[in-house]
Chains A and B, each alone.
Chain A
Amino acid sequence: MKKTLFDKIWDSHVVESIPNGPDILYIDKHLIHEVTSPQAFNELKERNIPVFRPDQIVATADHNTPTINQHLPVKDLLSRKQLKELSQNCEENNITLYGLGHSYNGIVHVMAPELGITQPGMTIVCGDSHTSTHGAFGTIAFGIGTSQVTQVFASQCLLVEKPKKLRVNVNGKLKNGVLPKDVILYIISKLGTNSGTGYFCEYAGNVFEEMSMEGRMTVCNMSIEMGARGGLIAPDQTTIDYVEGREFAPKGAELDKMKAHWETLKTDEAAEFDQEYSFEAEDIEPMITYGTNPGMGIKLTGSIPVEGNKSDSKALAYMDFKPGEILLEKPINYIFIGSCTNSRIEDFRVAASYIKGKKKAENVNALIVPGSQQVATQIKEEGLDKVFEEAGFTLRQPGCSACLAMNDDKIPEGEYCVSTSNRNFEGRQGPGSRTILASPLTAAATAISGKISDYTQNLN
């Protein structure tokens, strides 16, 4: 039988299939962080169950960490306690932790790929819905709840029903200024936030083939925003070039062996999908969202749809927008470039290249938060920090930051923030905050003009 990329990886990880029930799926890598793991460790302790495969678990601190003065004790007592528990739990169970201040520390979905922990063909889980990010390498990667974190601790396996298969094809040539973030926001705006529920999504077509690994991660990251548990892209030379040479990537003869395996990881030609959608690259323009879910997106120069139901009206009331309104020229006081969606070096390069030689508008607070210590170092090495500084942007230390505002990085009530993060839910960036999702280029351009503007005319 012809198999999809997803089938190939899934089937090779099934320990046992329960008749009329789920599969026991073996997990290669389990990533954990401070917020969704403590209750899982507690449960293990209560039930006197040991961690089965500690060597296959990697921990980082990211969700709840401050982005300034990371060398000092964390001020927020609850956050400090959560971080301390993570350290203790990792120590007691022999789990590798890259905690605050470690040179490998960072947002879990940024640090694991850049360390070569994420490799094609693996199964990867984490108690975080954006685990779908790792699918960019041709892995089956998905977010899990804390009960499932406990299950993986106890058995290195999960009981899961095999999802259905979806493929999204985008072919053609992207317009100037259209970034991977715009591509995925466009797809979600067309398909809706629950179109992917029950599916794993493969992205195919020359647009994804020509994307960098950073771009592919941005796309796969937001698969969950259309409801898909995960997204994946077949590994190719771009993938191998990215993985090769990284800290924990296979090396020498081992690498050659793995490369031969990775090359087999693609969907067979006549393999069938349960659902398939195709889009033309030429139709995609820079995107922004206007509502309170990521499916409520329009092109930068577009107008808010007039038709809508009760929930749409509620969203517009929250955002203080009107049906039919055009968002161009809307004054914006906050921008955020960061999060597991857009905090990799390429994101900061693209922002810096637009910003260079310009100054942010006076009304704007512009927050730049790298995804990891390694990205922070790269920003300095490439001199991007000077570009941001001279333009009046604030560059912070790595973490999830204003994407979910668990720390002090919050957008004030009633304020709009053009944000490169992944969710525009009510209050996501702080109580009463209003999020407009966009690419790093749109966020950078908004910071310079102080309002939403069509920057595509100014691009080279």
Chain B
Amino acid sequence: MEKFIQLTDTVVPLDAENVDTDQIIPARFLKATDKEGFGENLFRDWRFDKNGKPNEDFVLNQNKYSGSILLAGNNFGCGSSREHAAWAIKAYGFKAVVSSYFADIFKGNALNNGVLPVQVSPKFLHKLFTSVEIDSNEKFSIDLEKQMIRIESSGDAEHFDIDPYKKTCLINGYDDIDFLTSKLEAIKNYEQKRSGKQAVPQETL
């Protein structure tokens, strides 16, 4: 997994709440058996009309906005468990998503792909949106080590939370599989201990 340590970049503001994973990547694009090509269909039905023509009103099609930070409204990534949503965001070029709330499964999927979900207070989220509205070239600086997000022009900053284990993984580029496969002995011991007990589900298949 790619490492994530520090990022300073311009921002794409998506001012919508409850952005669900069906919007991030519609189900009809889930037929792939690899992880390639999802970036082209990120926000497909908001980005393009039914004839494939770019929708000029949509923020990803506005030249004034670019960068690897996606700024979004409350409860980002709700809905389906499809990791294709995180793959699409990553493949498009986003390295961090900032919102005041993330759905659980999306948050985990993003972290497992080296995309950092930065959860800020609703008040700070409003500040972030305002700063980008005033100047589309505004940059945010995200420091994972210090767990701080800062607006470059004003210096306004906020601390964000992240699971310490996940933080270590991101900073070092580790993933959970490396960790779990190093624990197989403990897992086998658990299985053995459990099979000796009466009151636990036994294998039935």
Contact = CB atoms under 8 A, between A and B. Distances in A.
Contacts of A311: 16-18, 73
A423 B20 contact: yes
Residue with the greatest number of chain A CB neighbours at <10 A, chosen from B18, B74, B183:
B18
Nearest to A122: B201
A117 B205 contact: yes
A197 B101 contact: yes
Contacts of A81: 31, 33
B184 A52 contact: yes
A197 B31 contact: no
B180 interface: yes
A36 B74 CA distance: 26
Interface in A392-415: 404-406, 413
A245 interface: no
Contacts of A193: 18, 75, 78
Interface stretch (B60-68, B103-111, B120-128, B141-149): B103-111
B103 A227 contact: yes
Interface in A257-281: 257-258, 260-261, 264
Given A147-B175, A293-B20, A427-B26, A117 B204 contact: yes
B180 A248 contact: no
Contacts of B75: 193-194, 197, 227
A155 to B, nearest CB: 4
Interface stretch (B2-10, B81-89, B130-138, B152-160): B81-89
B79 interface: yes
A341 to B, nearest CB: 13
Interface string A158-170: 1101010000000
Given A119-B204, A197-B103, A47 B74 contact: no
A364 interface: no
A247 to B, nearest CB: 9
Interface string B96-121: 00000111110011001100000000
A42 B83 CA distance: 15
Interface residues of A, number: 87
A194 B103 contact: yes
Contacts of B74: 194
Contact of B78 (A43, A151, A194): A194
A161 B190 contact: no
A194 B17 CA distance: 11
A148 B28 contact: no
Interface in B160-205: 163-165, 175-177, 179-181, 183-184, 186-187, 190-191, 194, 198-205
Interface stretch (A22-30, A174-182, A367-375, A377-385): A22-30
A95 B200 CA distance: 23
A218 B74 CA distance: 27
B183 A157 contact: yes
Contacts of A55: 203, 205
Contacts of B35: 39
A401 to B, nearest CB: 12
B15 interface: yes
A161 B184 CA distance: 19
Interface residues of B, number: 61
Contacts of A116: 204
Contacts, number: 210
A26 B163 contact: no
A216 interface: no
Residue with the greatest number of chain A CB neighbours at <10 A, chosen from B23, B27, B186, B187:
B27
A343 to B, nearest CB: 17
A121 B201 contact: yes
A172 to B, nearest CB: 30
Contacts of A79: 31
Interface string A126-157: 01110100000000000111111011001111
A38 interface: yes
A56 B181 contact: no
Given A64-B31, A127-B81, A157 B187 contact: yes
Interface stretch (A11-19, A205-213, A325-333, A352-360): A11-19
A145 B108 contact: yes
A129 B79 contact: yes
Given A26-B190, A257-B199, A426 B45 contact: yes
Given A15-B187, A154-B181, A147 B164 contact: no
A58 interface: yes
B164 A21 contact: yes
A147 B80 contact: no
Given A49-B177, A427-B26, A261 B200 contact: yes
Given A151-B176, A406-B27, 13 more contacts: A22-B165, A24-B186, A24-B187, A26-B187, A36-B81, A38-B33, A38-B34, A39-B83, A47-B177, A150-B177, A197-B102, A426-B22, A426-B45
10 contacts: A20-B164, A28-B201, A35-B30, A64-B31, A128-B81, A147-B176, A194-B18, A248-B204, A404-B22, A405-B28
Interface of A: 12, 15-16, 18, 20-22, 24, 26, 28, 35-36, 38-39, 42-43, 47, 49, 52, 55-56, 58, 63-64, 76, 78-79, 81-82, 85, 96, 116-117, 119, 121-122, 127-129, 131, 143-148, 150-151, 154-159, 161, 163, 193-194, 197-198, 227, 229, 248-250, 254, 257-258, 260-261, 264, 293, 309-311, 314, 404-406, 413, 423, 425-428, 431-432
Closest 5 CB pairs of A and B: A21-B165, A147-B112, A145-B83, A38-B33, A78-B31
